[in-house]
Structure 1
């Protein structure tokens, strides 16, 4: 999947991009394949594909997971909101791609073998670890008032935590999903029961289609 590039001829790839855009911006509108709207989301330019070198469709699938899973949608929107902050802003999608790169490297170095073997899963573990790493980054960035100048240091810290203590990160995400205090001592608010959801019924279809065209990690 990481070796599968974004392909303009694959409709499912555009649908993934559009779903990410709709979920983060709370918009029901479709958006073009190219344009400044991707820069607003945190890509470096008008073509998201140029930022996916080394992570390929895995990076987009992990973003899709973050914004379509009911347990992490609120987290994704809160992180995106922080990324738009006047002084604490950062490019959301570029940060996401970097976190995908971190967890993928941990997998390739066999740092996740124990947890993957225990759960008999790979992609699910990788996705949850990605979300857990993003959660950690969000908390540190927000509560310690970090700015873009701190980015390199924080990513290195995340890389260390991902390789050395993946189980701890995963427990932190589990605590967040259960809306209970985690190891960092932060209580996450429960999502409002009346929160409006933008319907998207093609996630499973997208995953099946991608499995058919993508290579194993």
Structure 2
């Protein structure tokens, strides 16, 4: 679909006039809540309040988009690989019971032992990432203002950067004329993630920004705010605000830091691309964004659990960034 096509986007009631605006005070913990729903992504239910109702576009059932099949193929590969892994691990457990030799048990460390075995480099990179999470977005800081301007230049290289409070920011998918108000659910790292995406995967960034792929809903997800939600989702999934990761995805991610200093930012880009593919595959509309994000998380957890994954670039979904 052409990038020039105009689509309506939902805006919360507190935008612009801000008569009903409620701002949660940001403390040292930067990522505190998602923005496009009333809960996390653990399966609990929620409703999104919007002034335009819950209208959903009809879709043309006869059209099959390439990205839809790309997502299905990626999911099939991951599930097939997991099936093979389960067979191998199941066979190993049987052999362990029959022949309790050390050579069989050494390959199955639990998550706690795995975390304790992290190298100094891995631990350093994990600590650096946690420090990034503690930085809230501060619209009064010049470097944070400059970062917003940098994002605009990357998104629209041939356009003049607007004032920091301008209706033009809504075109990028911010919910109001002042982007800084949308960071109440995310810290400065969520802006860094968007900038990293635009710098390192510019083609995919532009495709998602302008919604160029697939048959789109009339009520599209707002690009920039969706990006903040993805940052929040990854922090939850990887247990990055805990003292140490306790989930399998979190401990596996800590391993990946050995080979990829920018593992979190790369995983963010994969998650964004995968979320958009899920959006198209499910033929979703704005009201279903939370469900799409939960499906995205489930797929990422599945791929992180695969064997022979030594960096984010080994994930099956990573290839989607180049399609």
Question: How does the TM-score come out when normalised to structure 2?
Answer: 0.49
Aligned to 2:157: 26
1:90 deviates by 1.7
Aligned to 1:200: none
Pair 1:167–1:93, CA change in 2 (3 A): farther
In the alignment, the residues of structure 2 paired with residue 144 and residue 48 of structure 1 have an alpha-carbon distance, to the nearest angstrom, of 29
Structure of greater relative contact order (alpha carbons < 8 Å, 6+ residues apart) = 2
Moved more, 165-174 or 1-10: 165-174
Moved more, 8-17 or 132-141: 8-17
Pair 1:77–1:29, CA change in 2 (3 A): same
Pair 1:2–1:115, CA change in 2 (3 A): closer
- What RMSD over aligned residues (CA atoms) do the two structures have, in Å? 2.7
Is 1:176 the counterpart of 2:320? The answer is yes
Gaps in structure 1 of 5+ consecutive residues:
180-187, 189-217
Is 1:89 the counterpart of 2:220? The answer is yes
Gaps in structure 2 of 5+ consecutive residues:
1-131, 307-311
In the alignment, the residues of structure 2 paired with residue 118 and residue 77 of structure 1 have an alpha-carbon distance, to the nearest angstrom, of 27
1:115 deviates by 3.3
1:137 deviates by 1.3
Q: Rg bigger for which structure?
A: 2
CA contact (8 A) 1:99 1:133 kept: yes
Pair 1:131–1:118, CA change in 2 (3 A): closer
Pair 1:166–1:63, CA change in 2 (3 A): same
Question: How does the TM-score come out when normalised to structure 1?
Answer: 0.70
Deviations 1:138-192 (A, max 9, x none): 2222354322232121011122233443366752344235x4xxxxxxxx2xxxx
1:123 deviates by 6.0
Pair 1:62–1:123, CA change in 2 (3 A): farther
CA contact (8 A) 1:43 1:93 kept: yes
CA contact (8 A) 2:185 2:228 kept: no
Q: How does 1:106-145 map to 2 (within 5 A)?
A: 106-108=237-239, 110=245, 111-120=249-258, 124-145=262-283
Q: 2:171 aligns with which of 31, 40, 64?
A: 40
Aligned residues: 177
Moved more, 10-19 or 59-68: 10-19
Pair 1:118–1:136, CA change in 2 (3 A): closer
